[in-house]
Amino acid sequence: MTSTAGYDVERIRSQFPILQRELKGKPLVYFDNAATSQKPQVVIDALVEYYSMYNANIHRGIHTLAEEATAAYEATREAVRAFIGAPSTEEIIFTRGTTEGINLVAYSWGRANILEGDEIIISSLEHHSNIVPWQMLAAEKGAVLKVIPINAHGEILLEEYYKLLNPRTKLVSVVHASNSLGVINPVKVIIDAAHAVGAVVMIDGAQSTVHLDINVQELDCDFFAFSGHKLYAPTGVGALYGKRELLEAMPPFHGGGEMIKEVRFDGTTYNDLPYKFEAGTPNIADTVAMKAALEFINGIGKENIRRHENDLLQYGTEQLRQIPGIQIKGDVAEKVSVISFVAEGIHPQDLGVLLDQQGIAVRTGSHCTMPLMQCLNITGTTRASFAAYNTKEEIDRLVAGLHKAIKILR
């Protein structure tokens, strides 16, 4: 298999058991990584080891298993802190994923700080998870939700964004990299402009964290959320970073065990950070296994993975451009390894079904970005998204599969 110079893709592929599977009698080609990534054996092993060797509830026990489980759980918090460049583990809140992280900020910070007439800014690129919570908050509080427009390529119009900012702007919440198009937003510029008018900034890092170098201190974002399952970790676990002073001032998100110091019938004293936002028994096993996923990425080197993925992105883009009737959406220079496209006269779902018959997994539809699709005047796209284990040979199979499917459907 063709590899980027110095990048052993065969060795990497050998660590993913599912890539040995066949579909419809053909080797699996998995190009749905923007929806969820596959899991390396080290992550699977970490799950098995937890349940086999030290399964116990955390933070509350003095027996050996509880202490071992607690140590492993908190080791992941430190791994996350280092992975995104946060100053302290107290500012890392474990969640079920990006969606819960955004909802936590909307529910806790938003309900405490957004008032009638205040303004919240999002962009036209947002996933539903970064639209609906703010719509709900705006409706409840009588606030105004404003949307940054984009150009025909899916790039934010910064001049229009600047026009939206004013002293009434209390929150700006934008995606770092579009899950639908792969377009990377200039988030540092967005953050600095928002801070200049006194606004707080939330960054949706669901697609960026696995591909781009993240340092929340350099970005100076106030909140940053990501999902583990996008970066080779299990589903159902993620993290929210928040600046300490904001988190300390925020009320809890859920009530229950662990998020308290003392409970009385006449009142309750809440726990310190980060536990104030982690009520109940958490998703211990998947959180423990997320550390193995981060170590897997660090072991290869994020820069090496990014170089490989960018090589695939360039190659795939060149190949798809040569197919008559294929139009790539979000065909810009600054993007992560996502190719989203439409085939003239063909519904994306029909294309996806025929590709699946050839063992090729892609995502079709609106990708939970219906407003973006409306901006682009389309109903949806076919999306191929690449990860550390994908190859140019797989892209060749996609191209051949598209030619075959288009011939059938036209």
Hey, which residues are catalytic here?
Answer: 368
Structure tokens belonging to residue 225: 């959320």
State CA 19 to chain mean position distance.
22
Type of residue found at 253: F
Strands (DSSP E) contained in 218-347 are: 223-227, 238-242, 260-264, 267-270, 326-329, 338-343
Residue 227 zone, left/alpha/beta (φ > 0; ψ -120 to 50; rest):
beta
DSSP 139-196: HHHT-EEEEE-B-TTS-B-HHHHHHH--TTEEEEEEESB-TTT-BBP-HHHHHHHHHH
State CA 148 to chain mean position distance.
20
How far apart are the C-alpha atoms of 254 and 184, rounded to whole Å? 33
How far apart are the C-alpha atoms of 136 and 375, rounded to whole Å? 22
Residue 258 zone, left/alpha/beta (φ > 0; ψ -120 to 50; rest):
left
Element (H, E) at 44: helix 41-53
CA-angle at 229, arms to 225 and 232, nearest 5°: 120
351 in Cβ contact with 402 (< 8 Å):
yes
How far apart are the C-alpha atoms of 39 and 388, rounded to whole Å? 11
3-class secondary-structure state, position 200: strand
Alpha carbon separation from 153 to 124, 333, 335, 341, 345 (Å, rounded): 12, 10, 11, 12, 20
382 in Cβ contact with 351 (< 8 Å):
yes
How far apart are the C-alpha atoms of 238 and 231, rounded to whole Å? 10
